[in-house]
Structure 1
């Protein structure tokens, strides 16, 4: 259940994804008076968030929450918390409630219970979940063969958040300790959107569709789960 929305350029992709996210969030507010918007970091969704920040949505009724986070303070390089504050929670969206993942605990494992409690209080089903994908086939902070990955990919789990220790690589950089939403949590989103750009990511995406080993390419757990439709947005 994968729908592909491929565009000839990134400008049209950004406009389409911003429109689709806005529509889904407005639907949640219409139905329940509130909405939950799960967001990933990274350079690829940055222009989408910047465009959305200018939309005249009822932002105080939209809780923005992170999909994953490096276990660093928000003043540190690589903080998704700071990235979302700088690129989405601006302009019209400056009044949106925001839920980060980093707690004062020394390790992600120690912060897992607090993260679980906080995310358990979000309105569900989540309305929109924006995911990215790395050249190694990871999504969120579900990294290949990471410590904690197998538990995080259990679709029947009651756990929303999971501490992950990735194997260090060019993709992870030095920040291997992460907190991530689990597959079970992501599947509680009504609208799952996977955003990729460039020919290399397209090749990785197609490789993920062909294989079945989720520990090797965890994005497969999203693409092949068969329970929820996933929309893939791509442009060169």
Structure 2
């Protein structure tokens, strides 16, 4: 498996290291291509990383920030990753970055899928950096265990970048089961895949994922075990 583990004694050091790594890779992308793309996940875990990155004097107007996944809610509603990224990352120096969200005006994610696909297909590829998280149920992005649409989203033979998902409601999903997510095929078009987890519970889930093989049960396995792209795992207690 192509996994590098970067484990830190505390979250402060993890935040600095991950912000440094992201900044370096984004600068490299700009140097080589004249622009860079940064795929970002929501959640409280990456928030301090985004806040730190937002202060870095990068050429942000050349870095397109795009969501890895989104709950099918307007950005005025709680749970919107769009609103979260605007408040955490697109501040300070990073306020200049172009931003691509996933939520369209359509009533359902399934109806918005084609528009989302069109928008994401215009992003420069390969993507430079993709930040993923992981839930206690073994989901990543909005690739939820046994969700409606999951098998298509994990199909790496297709060219589809975005997939509408309907998750089975759980404590992890909350009431927002309807989502849009990048597919596994899209995530694997990233030069640099970073999985960010914190705490002993998530470490246990991560280790359980490494031991098994059922990707529909724990979709994070599709990232960890794909064998084509290196994945760097960042963890702190």
TM-score after normalising by structure 2: 0.99
- Deviation of residue 222 (structure 1)? 0.1
Name the counterpart of 2:212. Answer: 211
Name the counterpart of 1:95. Answer: 96
The 1-side partners of 2:33 and 2:106 are apart by: 34
Name the counterpart of 2:47. Answer: 46
- Deviation of residue 118 (structure 1)? 0.3
- Deviation of residue 156 (structure 1)? 1.5
Say if 2:48 is the partner of 1:55.
Answer: no
- Deviation of residue 4 (structure 1)? 0.2
Name the counterpart of 1:7. Answer: 8
Name the counterpart of 1:77. Answer: 78
Aligned pairs for 1:194-205 (under 5 A) are 194-205=195-206
Say if 2:228 is the partner of 1:232.
Answer: no
Deviations 1:107-165 (A, max 9, x none): 00000000000000001000000000000000000000000000000112210000000
- Deviation of residue 25 (structure 1)? 0.2
The 1-side partners of 2:17 and 2:101 are apart by: 26
The 2-side partners of 1:8 and 1:66 are apart by: 29
Deviations 1:205-230 (A, max 9, x none): 00000000000000000000000000
Name the counterpart of 1:35. Answer: 36
Name the counterpart of 2:26. Answer: 25
For structure 2, which runs of at least 5 residues remain unmatched after alignment? none
- Deviation of residue 15 (structure 1)? 0.3
Aligned pairs for 1:137-216 (under 5 A) are 137-216=138-217
SS in 1 for 2:112: helix
Say if 2:66 is the partner of 1:65.
Answer: yes
Deviations 1:143-194 (A, max 9, x none): 0000000000011221000000000000000000000000000000000000
Deviations 1:22-42 (A, max 9, x none): 000000000010000000000
CA RMSD of aligned residues (A): 0.3
Deviations 1:34-82 (A, max 9, x none): 0000000000000000000000000000000000000000000000000
- Deviation of residue 92 (structure 1)? 0.2
SS in 2 for 1:128: strand
Aligned length: 236
For structure 1, which runs of at least 5 residues remain unmatched after alignment? none
SS in 2 for 1:48: helix
SS in 2 for 1:137: coil
